[in-house]
Structure 1
Amino acid sequence: MADDDLTKQWEKLHLSTEETTVVQFKIEGAHTNNSIQGKLCIIGRVLSERGVNNKAFRSTMSKIWRLEGWICFKDLNEQCFLIEFQSKKDKDKVLSGRPWCFDRNLLTIQEVDESMSINVVNFQYEPFWVECYNVPLAAMNEGIGIQIGESIGRVIRVDANSDGSTWGCCLRIRVAIDLHKPLLRGRVCVRPYFEAQREEKQQLQFGPWLRAQPMNTSIFDKRKYGGNLYNINREHNVYGSKEGYS
């Protein structure tokens, strides 16, 4: 009710001739410095229905990120922060490590767009790792991963080897998820020459099985062991080679 009254009051507002005078901005001198500063900044917002302790947020996130350089937090409102890094390396580390959480609430992050006001930044998409299980080995490749990912959101990349294979315990896809839509609990994927396998046991709609494996586990280890030939593919760490790298 109060919002309707405020809207009606704004509709009745009329500016005078002096108030409608256009102000021309001259930013040529400061444009270069602002561009450099903008490349080292991000805007973060904690998606929480209650307020956020700003002091606790600064202290907690700076410890979690473990950056090499300094970091500066500027409060925009109770749930939104302008975060400046000393180096681009630290900024890229935070962006590549998404998604982040604070106090069990999602921290959405957007890069700074100098042409837009901070108040109109749209926190609509956030990257997540999607893990697909029970995928036939013949379908565990980058191409299939892209097809599955596109049915969920915008595909950023597929966790694949240099040859495109993704053999492992699961198929991992980095996808930008629309936060304005309900979170998908799964997808049914069918290929013509694969026999559909259905479990007779009823699966729970929610539970521990939804929890993804953390990156620090050994199940995603792609290191190769043994061998006596020079390995051209330097993407992985190779142990036991007789001919070391030059």
Structure 2
Amino acid sequence: MDSEFIERMQRIKLTNEEGEIIQVCPSQRGKILEECSLSLFGKFLTNRPFNQRAAKNILRTTWKFGSDLKIIDMGEGLFLFKFAMESQLTWVLNNGPWSFDNYLLLLRRWEKGMNANTIKFTHCSMWVQVWGLPFELFSEDVASDIGRGIGPMVEVDCKGATSDLAKFLRIRVEVPLEKPL
């Protein structure tokens, strides 16, 4: 940027009227925060147009929460999913990743202070299978080491490492979206 422009911007001052503080009534704040805490933001990983109504209907049908689930279009391809219970939200997060028309649905849990302009999707939680390991490496510790090499660890499927049919390890990780698979 032009340094003269930056200097002019730094000299701008608010008038008393422009700088007036507006008080927000806290009477419903607890209820609103509780509703927000049961929310996920979602965005499909695509730049192409897609049938948003069909996507919302498919998710409603797949998740089977009926009227307990509210899906709000926030614009710019961003959706807000409001759940009635924590267990529903947790189930959606734990049973993904989800997709529609081969477009991955990125999900992010609501955090205080988030708004539609600042939310960023940087990771996607998914199960990774590790095939072809030597038998002596079929362990939870090795799975954790491999998972941490991919991204932040979520969990290891111990059944895969200890079952009679152990052919691969299953690891749930937060895969960074900028990292090539």
Scaled to the shorter chain, the TM-score interval is 0.7 to 0.9
Relative to the length of structure 1, the TM-score reads 0.63
- Could you tell me the percent identity over the aligned residues? 27
What stretches of structure 1 of length at least 5 have no aligned partner?
Answer: 184-246
RMSD, aligned CA: 2.4
- Structure label with greater radius of gyration: 1
Counterpart pick for 2:47 among 46, 49, 58: 49
Q: Deviations over 1:181-205 (max 9, x none)?
A: 222xxxxxxxxxxxxxxxxxxxxxx
For 1:101 and 1:171, locate their aligned partners in 2 and report how far apart those are by CA, in whole Å: 23
Shift in Å at residue 68 of structure 1? 6.1
Larger deviation: 132-141 or 18-27? 18-27
Shift in Å at residue 69 of structure 1? 5.5
Shift in Å at residue 136 of structure 1? 2.0
For 1:68 and 1:123, locate their aligned partners in 2 and report how far apart those are by CA, in whole Å: 27
| CA 1:166–1:22: 2 relative to 1, 3 Å | farther
**3-state SS in 1 of match to 2:28:** helix
For 2:55 and 2:130, locate their aligned partners in 1 and report how far apart those are by CA, in whole Å: 33
Verify the 8 A CA contact 1:51 1:79 in the aligned structure 2: no
Shift in Å at residue 42 of structure 1? 0.7
Tell me which amino acid in the other structure corresponds to 1:54: Q
Q: Deviations over 1:92-121 (max 9, x none)?
A: 111111111111111000011122223211
The residue that corresponds to 1:85 in the other structure is: 83
The residue that corresponds to 1:31 in the other structure is: 29
What stretches of structure 2 of length at least 5 have no aligned partner?
Answer: none
Residue 135 of structure 1 pairs with residue 128 of structure 2: no
The residue that corresponds to 2:104 in the other structure is: 106
For 1:49 and 1:118, locate their aligned partners in 2 and report how far apart those are by CA, in whole Å: 17
The residue that corresponds to 2:179 in the other structure is: 181
Q: Which has the higher contact order (CA 8 A, sep 6+)?
A: 2
For 2:47 and 2:29, locate their aligned partners in 1 and report how far apart those are by CA, in whole Å: 37
The alignment covers a number of residue pairs equal to 173
For 2:140 and 2:152, locate their aligned partners in 1 and report how far apart those are by CA, in whole Å: 15
Tell me which amino acid in the other structure corresponds to 1:155: M
Relative to the length of structure 2, the TM-score reads 0.84
Verify the 8 A CA contact 2:37 2:111 in the aligned structure 1: no
Task: Determine which structure has the larger strand proportion and give its number.
Answer: 2
For 1:15 and 1:59, locate their aligned partners in 2 and report how far apart those are by CA, in whole Å: 49
For 1:138 and 1:43, locate their aligned partners in 2 and report how far apart those are by CA, in whole Å: 41
Q: Map of 1:116-195 to 2, 5 A cutoff?
A: 116-161=114-159, 165-167=161-163, 168-183=166-181
